[in-house]
Amino acid sequence: MDKYSPSEFISNCFSFLRTKLFFRECRFIRFPFYIRGKQSMKGAVNLTLGRFCRFELDGKHKTLSIGKNCEMGDMTHIVALNHIEIGNNVLIASKCFISDTSHGIYKGKIQDSPTTPPNSRKLYSTSVKIGNNVWIGENVVILAGSVIGDGCIIGANSVVNSNIPCNSLAVGAPARIKKVFDEDSKTWVRER
């Protein structure tokens, strides 16, 4: 059983009361928690958040969908101006960044110039999807357009910028598949 110092116990009691007052569908949000555009979030049933999480949402449309029983560690930062979907039972470690948006376009025929200040570049958004039963390690960055399939594990300090198929273990920057779960043997085997 977790043992808290008296000050942490009092802080957690205060956070629990605030959770039940302002985020009734959530399990427990440790404050401080910053959310811009709260009306753009849907789901989040039994969501647990660590301290200093920050959600920057559109505010006009449902741009962040969080499934049931998800847990996010301290300092998780989500930017959802287009659409981010997080499945059920997703575990996200601390200091992770998930964004469907970037300042500018850097591939294709029309690209932004490095001489243009980043804040002056047009925002470019592409949806992000994270499946069910996904475990995302510490310091992971998930960029616009990424899709992470059900049952995946994303190793600490990885950068996801593409599609990771179901039941894969991916690591690195950019994230590459190292193992896949073999249903027949019920073991993780090396990707070839």
192 belongs to a structural domain: no
Q: Could you tell me if residue 1 is inside a domain?
A: no
The CATH number assigned to the domain holding 153 equals 2.160.10.10
Q: Does residue 91 fall inside a structural domain? A: yes
- Is 121 a member of any domain? yes
Please say whether the dihedral angle defined by the alpha carbons of residues 80, 143, 27 and 50, taken in this order, is positive or negative. negative
Q: Mind listing the pLDDT tens digit for each residue in 154-192?
A: 999 999 999 999 999 999 999 999 999 999 899 999 976
Residue 77: active-site member: no
pTM for this one? Answer: 0.92
Query: Using CA atoms, how far apart are residues 80 and 164, in angstroms rounded to an integer?
Result: 20
Q: Cβ distance 81 to 125 under 8 Å?
A: yes
Domain-embedded: residue 190: no
Using H for helix, E for strand and C for coil, what is the string for 61-82? CCCEEECCCCEECCCCEEEECC
Check: CB of residue 41 under 8 Å from CB of residue 54: no
Q: How far, in Å, CA of 176 to CA of 42, rounded?
A: 31
Joined tokens for residue 133: 């039963």
Question: Per residue in 10-36, pLDDT tens?
Answer: 999 999 999 999 999 999 999 999 999
Cα–Cα dist 128/100, whole Å: 6
* Cβ–Cβ < 8 Å for 85, 65: yes
Domain span at 108: 6-185
Our count of domains for the chain comes to: 1
Q: Of 61, 77, 83, 103, which one is the catalytic site residue? A: 103
